[in-house]
């Protein structure tokens, strides 16, 4: 009798784990687009750090990302259970923050000398930190704040997949997604920021490895510049997407009128981009006007 009970228990556990694995796969698919934006944003956020500090900075941001998810997963489960109507407005606030950050980067680039990559930040807008350690702390804090918004979207998307499932399954799936996304994204970020170091190591050898190494070293600055552009665009795409999706009825109406296939996807992305840029510029202008009013008092 005891043996039969044990077998039944093991069968139940196996069934639950199968369900968790299947739901985790679905949630990972749904969050795939956000993960691409998350990767581009975080690789861009740690760009410009001294080579010897790149991996410590990535590790610090990864730990901050885990703390974000340790807050967000229980909070999302609690909101889903007790106050589901609050999730939408909170995502809108996060979307506006991302759009604002993107608009601030664009405006500062345009205002800087030459307006291109590597342009200096205007001293009046953002004073340079007193030392490299302070600059690094600022960079880590900024990356963790941005990660919080993206982690919130990943958490809510995962919550939508497990809605209606038993609480234990919800917790296991969301914890699994939190760990997988953090390890995947920041592992890739670490590889990207050490791209040039890998090239320098290969260039020590002869023959084809040396040629490959030199090409990697030459390509590294272009990769980081590209990630800067992609990361800024990702802020508008993710933030604009959160704003566009805020009204479920309007979003459904809009989706129903999109052309099929790749063209419809391109139109949707363009809409998210424009909405994000406009929202970011409005928030940036409002914030600067508020600061001027406070300074004039």
Domain extent, residue 72, equals 19-296
Range in 9-18, 67-76, 266-275 the model is least confident about: 9-18
* 9 inside domain: no
End-to-end CA distance of the chain: 81
Q: What is the pLDDT of residue 272?
A: 87
- Contact status, residue 56 vs residue 246, Cβ threshold 8 Å: no
**Token output for 93:** 């606030």
Question: Which of 9-13, 129-133, 175-179, 230-234 has maximum average pLDDT?
Answer: 175-179
* 12 inside domain: no
Measured CA distances, 184 to 39, 176, 180, 190 (Å) = 9, 12, 6, 10
Mean pLDDT of all residues in 234-258:
79
**Token output for 47:** 């760009």
Q: What is the pLDDT of residue 283?
A: 93
* 7 inside domain: no
Q: What is the pLDDT of residue 116?
A: 43
Q: What is the pLDDT of residue 255?
A: 77
* 14 inside domain: no
Residue 152 predicted with pLDDT over 50: yes
Q: What is the pLDDT of residue 148?
A: 86
* 10 inside domain: no
Domain tally, the chain: 1
Mean pLDDT of all residues in 22-41:
58
d(CA 222, CA 12): 53
Model confidence band, residue 277 (pLDDT cutoffs 50, 70, 90): very high
* 286 inside domain: yes
Model confidence band, residue 281 (pLDDT cutoffs 50, 70, 90): very high
Tell the residue number behind the tokens 């923050």, with chain if given.
Answer: 97
* 206 inside domain: yes
Residue 126 predicted with pLDDT over 50: no
Q: What is the pLDDT of residue 67?
A: 93
Query: What is the pTM (predicted TM-score) of this model?
Result: 0.64
Measured CA distances, 231 to 25, 189, 253, 288 (Å) = 26, 12, 29, 23
Alpha-carbon 225 to chain mean position: 18
Model confidence band, residue 285 (pLDDT cutoffs 50, 70, 90): very high
* 147 inside domain: yes
- Contact status, residue 139 vs residue 57, Cβ threshold 8 Å: yes
Model confidence band, residue 123 (pLDDT cutoffs 50, 70, 90): very low
Q: What is the pLDDT of residue 35?
A: 61
Alpha-carbon torsion, ordered 27, 92, 147, 76, to 10 deg: -50
**Token output for 16:** 């639950």
- 3-class DSSP state of 155: helix
d(CA 270, CA 267): 5
């Amino acid at each position: 009798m005891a043996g039969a009970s044990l077998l039944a228990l093991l069968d139940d556990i196996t069934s639950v784990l199968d369900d968790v694995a299947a739901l985790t796969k679905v949630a990972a698919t749904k969050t795939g687009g956000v993960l691409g934006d998350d990767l581009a944003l975080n690789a861009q956020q740690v760009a410009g750090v001294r080579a010897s500090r790149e991996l410590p900075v990535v590790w610090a941001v990864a730990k901050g990302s885990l703390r974000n998810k340790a807050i967000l997963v229980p909070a999302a489960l609690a909101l889903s259970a007790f106050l589901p109507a609050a999730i939408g407005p909170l995502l809108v606030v996060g979307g506006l923050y991302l759009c604002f950050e993107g608009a601030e980067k664009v405006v500062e680039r345009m205002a800087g000398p030459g307006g291109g990559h590597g342009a200096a930040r205007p001293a009046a807008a953002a004073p340079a930190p007193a030392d490299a350690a302070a600059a690094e702390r600022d960079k880590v804090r900024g990356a963790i704040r941005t990660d919080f918004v993206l982690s919130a979207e990943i958490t809510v998307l995962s919550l939508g997949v497990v809605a209606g499932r038993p609480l234990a399954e919800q917790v296991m799936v969301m914890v699994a997604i939190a760990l997988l996304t953090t390890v995947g994204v920041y592992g890739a970020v670490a590889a990207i920021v050490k791209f040039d170091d890998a090239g320098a190591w290969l260039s020590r050898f002869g023959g084809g490895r040396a040629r490959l190494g030199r090409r990697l070293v030459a390509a590294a600055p272009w990769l980081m510049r590209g990630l800067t552009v992609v990361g800024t665009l990702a802020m508008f795409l993710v933030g604009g997407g959160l704003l566009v999706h805020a009204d479920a009825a309007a979003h459904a109406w809009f989706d129903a009128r999109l052309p099929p296939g790749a063209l419809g996807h391109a139109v949707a992305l363009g809409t998210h981009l424009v909405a994000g840029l406009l929202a970011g510029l409005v928030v940036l202008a409002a914030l600067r006007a508020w600061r001027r009013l406070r300074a004039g008092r």
